[in-house]
Chain A
Amino acid sequence: MEEKKNKSGSTTMPVKKKKKKMAAENNEIITLTNVSKAYSTGAPALKEINLHINKGEFVFIVGDSGSGKSTLIKLLLRELTISDGYINVMGYDLSKIKHRKIPKFRRNIGIVFQDFRLLKDRNVYDNVAFAQRIIQKSNKEIKKNVPSILAIVGLAGKYKAKPRQLSGGEQQRVALARALVNKPTILLADEPTGNLDPKNSWEIMKLLEQINENGTTVLVVTHNREIVNAMQKRVVTLKKGVIVSDEEKGGYIDED
C-alpha cells in the first residue's frame, strides 16, 4: 500500500512544482517518509524516519554514536539506498534514480567530512579546482571561481600549500571551499568540527551559517553541544535509528 502511494507521489511531484502551490510543500527540498535502512548485519540503522526540510533551512542532526546520523547523510547523498519508505531530494526520487543520473544529482550537493578527505598530493588550489574539473568547467571559469571561494573561506594566501602543511581548521576550510565551489543547493556536513579545537569549530560553523544565509540549505551532523545550544537552529535528534525530537531553535538534548 505504502509503496503504491509513493510511486504516484513521485511521478506527479515535478508537475505540481511547476504549477500551483508555491507554499510549504513546494519549498520542501528534502522529504523522507517512513524511511528505514537496514545494513546486511545487525539491527536497522534507521527505522521509519519522517523528515521534511525546506529550501534554505539550517538543520543540526544530533544523537549518540551509532544512532544513524551518518547513515542518514549517506542516504541523502544516494551513497546508500533505503530499505523501505520514500526519499526525495531536490525532486529526485532516490530509490528510483537511474545510475547514470546520480552524478548530475550529486553536483547540486556539497559534502564535508570529519576527516577532510583532501587529495594529499595536490595543493589547496588544485584540491578545490578538482571539483570544478569533475563538472567540466572551463579553465577560464576555474581560474575565476577558485580564488574567489578561497577568499570566502579565508585561505586566499595559502593556495599553494599542500594539505599536510595546513592546520586541521585550514584543511576543513579547503574541504568546505571544495564543497562550495560548484555552488550546491544543499550542503551536507558530517561532523565537520569533529577534529577541530573550539576556536576553529566556531569559525567553521560561522562559515556554514554564512553559506546558509546566502541561500544554501545546510545540514550539519555534530556532537558539539555548545555550538548547537548557542546557534539556536532547528535540531533533529536521533536515537537508535529513530527521530526522538525535532525542534525549531532547539538545543542539544542530554543523554543520561
Chain B
Amino acid sequence: MRISSLFYTLRQGFSNLFRNKWFTLASIATISACLFLFGLFYAIVMNFQNIVKTAEQGVSVTVFFDEGIEDTRIQEIGELISKRPEVSNIHFVSAEEAWESFKTEYLGEYADGFTENPLADSANYEIYLNDVSMQSALVTYLESVEGVRMVNRSEITATTLTGINALVAYVSVGIIGILFAVSVFLISNTVTIGISVRKEEINIMKYIGATDFFVRSPFVIEGMLIGLIGAAIPLVFIYVMYNVVMNYVLERFSMLSSLLSFLTVEEIFSLLTPVSLGIGVGIGFLGSIVTVRKHLRV
C-alpha cells in the first residue's frame, strides 16, 4: 500500500469516529469501563500477590534439639534439612544468638540481671521454604528426625493465602470476560451503523474498483482507534487514583503497614500499560473485523 493511501485510509478511519458520535462514545465508554475494572483487578491481584509473597517469605519453621546434643549431630541434621527440595534457606541460630536477640527484643536494660544464658537449650535452625504449601509435610518429616526435640511452625497458614489469591484471580477473569464480550458487541454495533451510514459511499467505491481491503480498512481502523482511546482513558484514571488510594489505605490501617507491602505505581504500570492497550486495540480489531466481514459483502 502506498503511503498516501495509508494516510487516506487512516484519515477515513478517524472521520468515521465522528460520523456516528454517540455510538463511538458508547463503545469507548464500555471499553473504558471494562479496562478500568481490568486495571483495578490487576492492581489488586498484583498487590495481593505481593503481600502474600512477602508474607510467605517470612514463613519459617524452627527446629529445636534434644538436650545435650552433639554439635556433629546438629550439623548432620542441618545437612539433612538442606537436602529437602522445599527448603530455600536454612539458618543456624546458636543459643547465644537466641539470647541476644531475645534480650534486645523483649528485655532491653532489664537483661543485665542475668549472668547465665537462660536459653541454653534454645539453639535452633530457622528454615525458610520456597513453597509454603509444603510446610506441614516438612514439619512431619522434621518431627521424625532423631535429635529433634521440637518443631515450631509459623502461624500464618500460607495455604489460605494462596487460596484467596486464586479465588480473587478467578472472579476477576470471569467479570473481565463478560465485559469483553459486551465491548466486542458494542463495537460491532458501532461499525454496523457506520457501514449503513456509508452504504452509498461503499457502493460508489465498489463501482470504481476499490479492493475489499481498501473498503474495509477504514472500519477496522475505526474499531482499533475506539479500542485504543477506550484503553488510554482508564490507564490515566488508574494512574492518578493509585497513589491516592495506597496512601489512604496505609494511613487508615497504619498498624498493618508492615504487612501491606504495596507495589509502586511504576511496577504496576510497566505491565498494565502494554497489556491494556493491547487488549483495547485487540477488542477493537476483533469487533470490527467480524462485523465488516459479516456486513460488507464487497
Please report A residues at the B interface, Cβ cutoff 8 Å: 77, 79, 100, 102-107, 109, 111, 117, 119, 130-131, 133-136, 138-139, 178, 182
Q: Are B4 and A107 in contact (CB under 8 A)?
A: no
Report the minimum CB–CB distance from A237 to chain B (whole Å): 26
CB within 8 Å of A: which of B222-270?
none
Given known contacts A117-B200, A119-B201, is B2 in contact with A134 (CB within 8 Å)? no
Please report the C-alpha to C-alpha distance between residue A111 and residue B204 in the assembled complex, in whole angstroms. 10
**Chain A positions within 8 Å of B140 at CB level:** none
Is residue B207 within 8 Å, beta carbon to beta carbon, of the partner chain?
yes
Which of B201, B204, B205, B208 lies at the interface centre, i.e. has the most chain A CB atoms within 10 A of its CB? B208
B residues lining the A interface (CB < 8 Å): 1-2, 4-5, 8, 200-201, 203-212, 214
Q: Are A107 and B208 touching (Cβ within 8 A)?
A: yes
Q: A103-B209, A106-B209 are in contact. Are A136 and B204 (CB under 8 A)?
A: no
Do B2 and A138 have beta carbons less than 8 Å apart?
Answer: yes
Closest to A119 in B: B201
The answer to whether B214 touches A134 (Cβ under 8 A) is: yes
Known A-B contacts A117-B200, A119-B204; the reply to A133 vs B5 at CB < 8 A is yes
A-B contact pairs, 24 of them (CB 8 A): A100-B211, A100-B212, A102-B209, A103-B209, A103-B211, A103-B212, A105-B209, A106-B206, A106-B207, A106-B208, A117-B203, A117-B204, A130-B204, A130-B205, A133-B5, A133-B8, A134-B210, A134-B214, A135-B209, A136-B4, A136-B5, A136-B214, A138-B4, A139-B4
A77 CA / B207 CA spacing, docked (Å): 8
Q: How far is the CB of A228 from chain B (nearest CB, A)?
A: 25
Does more than half of chain B's interface fall in helix, strand or loop, or is it mixed? helix
Contact flag A134-B4 (CB < 8 Å), given A100-B212, A117-B200: no
Residues of B within 8 A of A104 (CB): 209
- A204 CB to nearest B CB, Å: 19
Contact of B208 among A100, A134, A138, A139 (CB under 8 A): A134
B208: chain A residues within 8 A (beta carbon) = 106-107, 111, 130-131, 134-135, 178, 182
Nearest CB in chain B: distance from A73 CB, A: 11
Tell whether, in the assembled complex, residue A103 and residue B210 are in contact, meaning their CB atoms are under 8 Å apart: yes
Expressed in whole angstroms, the minimum distance between the Cβ of B33 and any Cβ of chain A is: 32
Contact A111 B4 (CB under 8 A): no
Residues of B within 8 A of A79 (CB): 207
Residues of A within 8 A of B2 (CB): 136, 138
Nearest opposing residue in chain B for A105, CB measure: B209
B205: min CB distance to chain A, Å: 6
